[in-house]
Amino acid sequence: METAEPARVQALAEAGVFRLPAQYIQPPEHRPTPSPSPIAAALSVPVVDLSTSTATDAVRAACADWGAFHVVGHGVPGELLDAVRAAGLAFFRAPMEDKLRFACDPARGAASEGYGSRMLANDDSVLDWRDYFDHHTLPESRCDPARWPDFVPGYRDTIAKYSHSMKDLAKKLLCIISENLSLPPSYIQEAVGEVFQNITISYYSPCPQPDLALGLQSHSDMGAITLLIQDDVGGLEVLKDGMWIPVPALRDGILVILADQTEIITNGRYKSSVHRAVVNAERARLSVATFYDPSKSRKICTAPQLVSENEPQKYRDVIYGDYVSSWYSKGPEGKRNIDALLIQH
C-alpha cells in the first residue's frame, strides 16, 4: 500500500504548534533521557587524526571500542564541508513551494530521492521530528542532478564535489579497517562491490515538546559505512555500554559510523554503532550523512579468514536488498535487523 507523505515537520514548527501531534510521540521507553549520567557525561567519541603515524592503531581501537569516531586530518577541505552545510540550510530556508517541486514520490517506495519527511514504509511507526533531502549520488547511472534543487546557487555542483570526496574518504577508511583485521586492504571494498552512495541532508526543526520526541529513532545504519557532518547545535547520540553519549560537532571533523554490513563481513569483530538524534525547543539543527552501501543484488558474507573453531560464523549470509526491505518494513529499533541474522550455535 502506498504511504502518504505526512505534514512537513518544518511547517508544523513554523505554524507554532505547542503540543506535539500524536504521531510524533515516542513510547516512554524510547524517549530521550533528560540529562546524561555522570559516567556517560565523562565519555566522548574518539577523535582520530588521519594525517598522523598513529592513525591506523587509533582507528583499530575506535572500531573495536565504539563503532563510531571523528576523523580530522582527512584531506577534505573545510570550505567544502561549510559549502555543503550552507547549501542544505539554504534549501530548508527556502519557500515551501520551491521545496515541494523536489518532493519525494511516495509511489517510488520508501526512501525515494528528494524532499521528504517519512522514511519508513510502516504506517504504524512513530514519526521522526525531521525533514530531509535524499540525493542518489552513486553509481553514476542512478545520479540525476536534475532531481536536486536548482534554486540554490551552486547546490548541484557542491553535492557532486562532496560525493566524490566522501567516496574517496570511505575507501581510505575501509582499507585501514581491512588491514587492521589482517585482511587485504581492498577486502571490504570488494565485498561491498559496486558502491551505492546516498547523501541525506536532515533538518530538525525546533520541537514544542522535545522530551516526548526523537529527531531520528535509535538504529544502526544498514550499509557498510556512514560519514556524517553536522552544525554546532548538537543532538546526535551514540549508544555505548547501555548509555547514550552526546556527540558534539567538530567543525572540520567528520563522524565515521560503522554500519551493519561491516559487522557481518568482520564477523562481529567490529560492531555497527547504534545512534539516534534528539531535538530541542529553541534551535533548528542540520546534519549531512553520506551512506556507502552495496547494491541490492549483492550477497554479503562474513570474511572466511575471520571464522575459526573458536570464533564461529555469527551471521547468516544475506542479499543486501532483502536486508533493506526488512529494515524499511519492520523499522530500525536498535539492532533488530542484524540480530535477526544471528546463527544459533
Phi/psi zone of residue 333: left (φ > 0), alpha (ψ -120 to 50 degrees), beta? Answer: left
Residue 126 lies in a domain: yes
Residue 23 lies in a domain: no
The string of pLDDT tens digits covering residues 293-328 is 999 999 999 999 999 999 999 999 999 999 998 888
The string of pLDDT tens digits covering residues 227-277 is 999 999 999 999 999 999 999 999 899 999 999 999 999 999 999 999 999
Residue-level pLDDT at 1:
36
Q: What are phi and psi of 274, to 5 degrees?
A: -85, 130
Contact between 79 and 161 (Cβ < 8 Å): no
* DSSP code, position 3: P
Work out the number of other CB atoms within 10 angstroms of the CB of residue 228: 23
The cell numbers describing 341, all together, are: 541474522
Residue 20 lies in a domain: no
Global confidence as pTM: 0.96
Q: Largest alpha-carbon pair distance within the chain?
A: 61
Cell numbers 518532493 label which residue?
Answer: 103
Residue 32 lies in a domain: no
Cell numbers 554546532 label which residue?
Answer: 232
Residue 28 lies in a domain: no
The string of pLDDT tens digits covering residues 151-191 is 999 999 999 999 999 999 999 999 999 999 999 999 999 99
Residue 18 lies in a domain: no
The string of pLDDT tens digits covering residues 203-227 is 999 999 999 999 999 999 999 999 9
The string of pLDDT tens digits covering residues 331-343 is 777 788 899 999 9
CATH value at residue 50: 2.60.120.330
Looking at the structure of the chain, the number of domains it has is 1
Range in 1-10, 14-23, 205-214, 230-239 with the lowest mean pLDDT: 1-10
Which domain does 261 fall in, by range? 41-340
Work out the number of other CB atoms within 10 angstroms of the CB of residue 278: 23
Question: What single string gives the DSSP state of each residue in 310-330?
Answer: SS---B--EEHHHHHHHHHHH
CA 183 to chain centre: 26
Burial 315-339 (b: 16+ CB within 10 A, else e): beebebeebbebbbeebbeebebbe
Residue 35 lies in a domain: no
Residue 345 lies in a domain: no
Sequence-separated (6 or more) residues with CB below 8 Å from residue 226: 256, 257, 259, 289, 290, 291, 292
